[in-house]
């Protein structure tokens, strides 16, 4: 029983009232938490107190910054706003910010996880001025290629759509920029599962990674886009020759080769010299000539492409028809 008295005393201790003394600070409670802090400077953000609504230019910038927002809906809405802004602006007025600052914010959204965002991105890209876009195709291609080999089937499908669009607006630039021909064809082969002859024989090796989407439909679309792409690659740069003729006619005899002495008509005209970029290898080489492209194609892709086509032709229906398109594009090359 001796211990119980001790226990009692201990218990009592918990409930003892703290003694308060006049003129002394109040003792701190046992569970008192220190909340004060020290800081060199305290910044109070000013509330924005504007009466008038923010200008459209300002809003454009704001929405542009919101493209990297965490919320899917927010990104989609901002894209929608930008799209409507671009389409509804008066003709011949330029964008509030140059394309070179706008596009790097839009391109990553090609690989966005949300379907809505991606669709809206394509809509915005379509709305942007075509003529200016062709200069930036080289920047978008890595994103497209990343999309084409993405684990998610939807993104693969979508990026093929984007490639179709870019081939449509700037066929020359797509196939002739650095790595545009070799790397993109490589991605196509992976996408179609034709990478080497062995894999073409075994249909199970076909790309089945990630979550399957509507694969059957996708295959035919992929083949269509591939046909377009090949066509673009094997065609001669028609625009250039036309302009040459014009120049020749405009500046007659005494001036020779006016197209070489005049100002370049394309952006980054001396890009093939690769003055500032990382060193190029076979994959990242710029193939500006049709002959170069054909040569590379024959060296590296023709055999696997043909084997793949042969097996794809056996699939009836849409895929078979799309195969026909590709075969036609290849035949045209041989003819022309």
CB 208 → other proteins: shortest distance, Å? 8
Burial (0-12, 13-18, 19+ Cβ within 10 Å), 15: exposed
Kindly tell me which of 126 and 183 has the beta carbon lying closer to other proteins. 183
CA 244 – CA 42 distance, rounded (Å): 65
Residue entry with tokens 């179709």: 164
CA 205 – CA 210 distance, rounded (Å): 14
CB 300 → other proteins: shortest distance, Å? 15
Whole-number Cα distances in Å, 75 to 63, 68, 163? 9, 7, 22
Kindly tell me which of 149 and 235 has the beta carbon lying closer to other proteins. 149
Kindly tell me which of 259 and 315 has the beta carbon lying closer to other proteins. 315
**Footprint of other proteins on this chain (CB under 8 A)?**
1-2, 68, 104, 108-113, 139, 142-143, 145-146, 148-152, 154-155, 179, 183, 186-187, 190-191, 193, 195, 199, 202-212, 214-216, 278, 311, 314-316
CB 216 → other proteins: shortest distance, Å? 5
CA 199 – CA 247 distance, rounded (Å): 50
CB 84 → other proteins: shortest distance, Å? 24
- Judge contact between 137 and 125, C-beta under 8 A: no
Kindly tell me which of 207 and 325 has the beta carbon lying closer to other proteins. 207
- Judge contact between 132 and 94, C-beta under 8 A: no
Kindly tell me which of 253 and 276 has the beta carbon lying closer to other proteins. 276
CB 287 → other proteins: shortest distance, Å? 17
| Number of CB atoms found within 10 A of residue 282's CB | 10
Kindly tell me which of 67 and 333 has the beta carbon lying closer to other proteins. 67
CB 67 → other proteins: shortest distance, Å? 10
| Number of CB atoms found within 10 A of residue 90's CB | 5
CA 9 – CA 2 distance, rounded (Å): 11
Whole-number Cα distances in Å, 278 to 178, 266, 273, 284? 11, 22, 11, 10
CB 205 → other proteins: shortest distance, Å? 5
CB 1 → other proteins: shortest distance, Å? 4
Burial (0-12, 13-18, 19+ Cβ within 10 Å), 126: middle
Kindly tell me which of 115 and 243 has the beta carbon lying closer to other proteins. 115
Kindly tell me which of 187 and 333 has the beta carbon lying closer to other proteins. 187
DSSP-assigned states of every residue in 129-144: -HHHHGGGHHHHHHHH
């Amino acid at each position: 029983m001796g211990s119980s008295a001790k226990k009692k005393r201990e218990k009592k201790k918990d409930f003892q009232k703290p003694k308060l003394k006049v003129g002394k600070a109040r003792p701190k409670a046992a569970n008192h938490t220190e909340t004060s802090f020290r800081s060199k400077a305290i910044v109070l953000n000013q509330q924005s107190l504007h009466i008038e609504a923010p200008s459209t230019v300002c809003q454009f910038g704001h929405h542009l910054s919101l493209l990297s927002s965490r919320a899917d809906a927010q990104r989609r809405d901002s894209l929608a706003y930008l799209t409507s802004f671009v389409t509804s602006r008066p003709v011949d007025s330029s964008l509030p910010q140059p394309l070179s600052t706008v596009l790097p914010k839009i391109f990553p959204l090609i690989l966005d996880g949300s379907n809505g965002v991606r669709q809206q991105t394509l809509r915005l890209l379509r709305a942007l001025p075509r003529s200016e876009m062709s200069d930036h195709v080289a920047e978008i291609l890595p994103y497209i290629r990343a999309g084409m080999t993405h684990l998610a089937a939807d993104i693969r499908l979508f990026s093929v759509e984007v490639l179709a669009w870019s081939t449509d607006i700037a066929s020359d630039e797509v196939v002739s920029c650095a790595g545009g021909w070799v790397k993109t064809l490589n991605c196509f082969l992976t996408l179609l599962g034709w990478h080497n002859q062995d894999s073409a024989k075994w249909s199970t090796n076909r790309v089945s990674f990630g979550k399957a989407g509507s694969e059957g439909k996708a295959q035919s679309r992929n083949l269509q886009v591939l046909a377009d792409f090949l066509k673009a690659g094997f065609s001669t740069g028609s625009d250039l020759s036309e302009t040459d003729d014009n120049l020749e006619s405009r500046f007659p005899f005494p001036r020779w080769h006016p197209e070489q002495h005049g100002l370049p008509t394309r952006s980054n005209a001396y890009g093939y010299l690769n003055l500032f970029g990382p060193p190029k290898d076979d994959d990242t080489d710029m193939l500006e000539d049709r002959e170069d492209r054909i040569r590379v194609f024959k060296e590296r892709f023709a055999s696997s492409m043909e084997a793949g086509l042969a097996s794809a032709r056996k699939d009836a229906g849409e895929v078979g028809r799309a195969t026909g398109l590709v075969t036609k594009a290849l035949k045209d090359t041989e003819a022309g």
